[in-house]
Structure 1
């Protein structure tokens, strides 16, 4: 309590031999009422520490730690004045009742301590109030933010609901709308994608061919009997509509697209795309093959253009066309399909065209090594031509004897065999025949507009070449005649 510093600048601390002068005590020495020095200690605010020590001794409280003690200015009540008596009594009455004029010395200390804690309590309440006001403002701001986010979330939910409704509508529209109706909007689109002249003809052919297409579902095979059973259904629900399957088949014929490309366009698997194509090409060959037929001589004469009027007995113009194929792995097939004329592995097909540019016959495919005469004789075409008819062909068709055996005449350009130069009559005859025989070349060019036959045919489609050629020839017959008059 003595504020004294030694020579080193540190506070003086008493030892067991240290003594305190009597001028520092109220009574001149330590007494029970004033046991601690409180006067002339060298610093202010001495009485507070003394009162604290007295109060702790009287109430037997542990001394407060200095670091945790809330130090507040003490408010002392001077008891010398009668109007500030904390007991609230009359001073004259106290003097008459008690001969002792002063109160106990501990009372001012107790009152001062009570006033100190009350002031600290008020300050604590004030701090708490300020914190509460601050947190209240922050809570209001957060509440406004929450309200704004709630409104924003509600708006986003409404947008999500609208988008979900739009997606569902688009799904329903996609189910109701076929792929064919999406891309085949005009006759030009139909002609480009399918090779058919008009949109009306496309749907008429679809209605005509669809009932004859065999289902791709094979059913379940019994273990006891090799009989296919259909349990009340025709198989699983098809992934594509009938018009889409028909369009897929025609697009592969017309554009020569690969299976993977078609599968990506129609959103199906590649194996399913192949099965659809093979099913439809077989059915279309059976149904549309009836459009490639041999008419009687009366129909041919009635539809003959003017440029063929001077040939009353002409029946058809024949020629062979070749289709490129991939090189087979088998060496024998490589040799059999090699064409010295095309310098490629090919398949050869005989095509017969009436004077009105209608295809009346298309043979099966033969190996490219076979000659034109062998293909004509093996196809059986000469047996189907009515007797006493005239055929027109290229000079490579050396079938005059075979035609004579069947009472037929063959009209071919004259050759230059054994001569250094053709005669004028031979040149004029060659020109006349070439001007008429060019019709079959133009029709074959129309067949090759189906790019599957114009490009190199995959080896997997070689077993189906006859059906493909038949369908392409039938579709060419739906086109307008090359010579209208």
Structure 2
């Protein structure tokens, strides 16, 4: 039963003490006496076998499981007495087990009453009982216990316990939140949710909102069939994860019509909330957030522009097919313009147009030109023939230098590389937007009325994913 000085762990189930983490404890090896050792093994509720064996210098019990009376001097830093057995464990709350009285001691605890046979005698006669466990409870004890139980049941019914949500089931970690909602962490999602929950609690479903527009005196909105945060999770399943409506309906145990109604309602609600956020950055802030490596060659860049297309389901109308057909993608698409600051933040989002429209035409009608200021530099792909449009507002197009001799100079090569690195930022921003898996397959025509709202929501929410790593 010597105390260990090396690295030691307690072998008692439920105890994780170690002499490195708890240096104030002492660790004792099992006694060499076989009888006492068996008592120790039985006390810790373990059996020697394939999963446990007592090894000298390797199997220990810490001082938490011994009483002070087990040590010489009454302190745990002293030596254990011979023949003691550990008795303090998690299953008895680290308290010494009470010593049960013997049957002889219990039987001899007699209740003394005056003898009715001999009134002059001062002696008492003991009423002998065979066993104490046959003693009946006091009168009224069962009624009192029954009343106490009924009172507890009534109090439990009055407690308003929150019902478990599917969000707490599917979004229990940062990785799950990142997968299902595209928010990078639970903390960031909570900040976003607390900012929209008060207004979202007053949402009216899409069909009810449509009825309100048709009726003069609308009826109050029907009660919700699921928690508010589960409605947002349903929208995220449809947009961020790209699940089909039938699968979502089966997971939430609702109808497909309910999934469509909740998706459209939340798409329009988030569009109203997020479109009110001013994402266009002032020129001074753009320069402050610009990566240092690009300030040398492109110090006045205000925005980087690029167009992107998303697939659209074919329409039965030939006229609509011809308007949405894209020669670049060789299929029917919707096309939008995105503007990104040099720091990687999306600062401009255009509506979606039919796929046959040109990049120059989108730039002309989407609203980016009025917000540019004289002296701003705009970077775009070589396919953007918008120099004349930018010149009208005093802005300038940034393009790589043209080859005018046998080879570029060292400075021209460095400038070309810098512009190429800066140009790729808009591609990475678009990739974040398209990581919302609703864009993986062609957009169904049933969502054509909400596709612009979903597009803006995805663009703005992608900014919550944090800055890009712009190091070489």
- TM-score between the two structures when normalised by the length of structure 2: 0.60
1:381 to 2:350 alignment:
no
CA distance 1:413–1:450, shift in 2 (3 Å): same
1:484 positional shift = 5.9
Aligned pairs for 1:23-422 (under 5 A) are 176-213=163-200, 214-216=203-205, 218=208, 226-230=215-219, 234-291=220-277, 293-310=279-296, 311-413=298-400
Deviation sequence 1:130-150 (CA, Å, 0-9, x none): xxxxxxxxxxxxxxxxxxxxx
1:331 positional shift = 0.6
Count matched residues.
Answer: 307
**1:459 counterpart residue number:** 445
Larger radius of gyration: 1
Query: How many Å separate the matches in 2 of 1:200 and 1:431?
Result: 38
| Aligned partner of residue 251 in structure 2, secondary structure | helix
**1:120 counterpart residue number:** none
Query: How many Å separate the matches in 2 of 1:441 and 1:375?
Result: 18
Query: How many Å separate the matches in 1 of 2:423 and 2:468?
Result: 13
Query: How many Å separate the matches in 2 of 1:364 and 1:340?
Result: 20
Deviation sequence 1:244-302 (CA, Å, 0-9, x none): 00111112111111111111111111101111111111110111223462111111111
Compare the two structures and name the one with the higher helix fraction: 1
Query: How many Å separate the matches in 2 of 1:337 and 1:219?
Result: 30
Residue among 415, 421, 428 paired with 1:435: 421
Unpaired segments ≥5 residues, structure 2: 1-155
CA distance 1:329–1:212, shift in 2 (3 Å): farther
| Aligned partner of residue 246 in structure 1, secondary structure | helix
Query: How many Å separate the matches in 2 of 1:365 and 1:263?
Result: 28
Query: How many Å separate the matches in 1 of 2:267 and 2:383?
Result: 33
| Aligned partner of residue 299 in structure 2, secondary structure | coil
Residue among 459, 470, 473 paired with 2:456: 470
1:444 positional shift = 0.6
CA distance 1:413–1:219, shift in 2 (3 Å): closer
CA distance 1:429–1:271, shift in 2 (3 Å): same
Query: How many Å separate the matches in 2 of 1:345 and 1:292?
Result: 32
CA distance 1:228–1:218, shift in 2 (3 Å): farther
Deviation sequence 1:323-356 (CA, Å, 0-9, x none): 0011111111111111111111111100000011
Query: How many Å separate the matches in 2 of 1:220 and 1:390?
Result: 45
Question: Contact (CA 8 Å) 2:336, 2:352: kept in 1 or not?
Answer: yes
Query: How many Å separate the matches in 2 of 1:279 and 1:402?
Result: 38
| Aligned partner of residue 177 in structure 2, secondary structure | helix
CA distance 1:422–1:325, shift in 2 (3 Å): farther
CA distance 1:380–1:228, shift in 2 (3 Å): same
1:206 positional shift = 2.3
Query: How many Å separate the matches in 2 of 1:388 and 1:432?
Result: 20
CA distance 1:439–1:242, shift in 2 (3 Å): same
Q: CA RMSD in A?
A: 2.8
Question: Contact (CA 8 Å) 1:356, 1:483: kept in 2 or not?
Answer: no
**2:468 counterpart residue number:** 482
Query: How many Å separate the matches in 2 of 1:428 and 1:312?
Result: 15
Query: How many Å separate the matches in 1 of 2:391 and 2:313?
Result: 39
- TM-score between the two structures when normalised by the length of structure 1: 0.59
**1:450 counterpart residue number:** 436
1:428 positional shift = 6.4
**1:424 counterpart residue number:** 408
1:412 positional shift = 2.2
| Aligned partner of residue 307 in structure 2, secondary structure | strand
Query: How many Å separate the matches in 2 of 1:470 and 1:200?
Result: 23
Query: How many Å separate the matches in 1 of 2:421 and 2:407?
Result: 18
1:480 positional shift = 1.5
Query: How many Å separate the matches in 2 of 1:475 and 1:341?
Result: 28
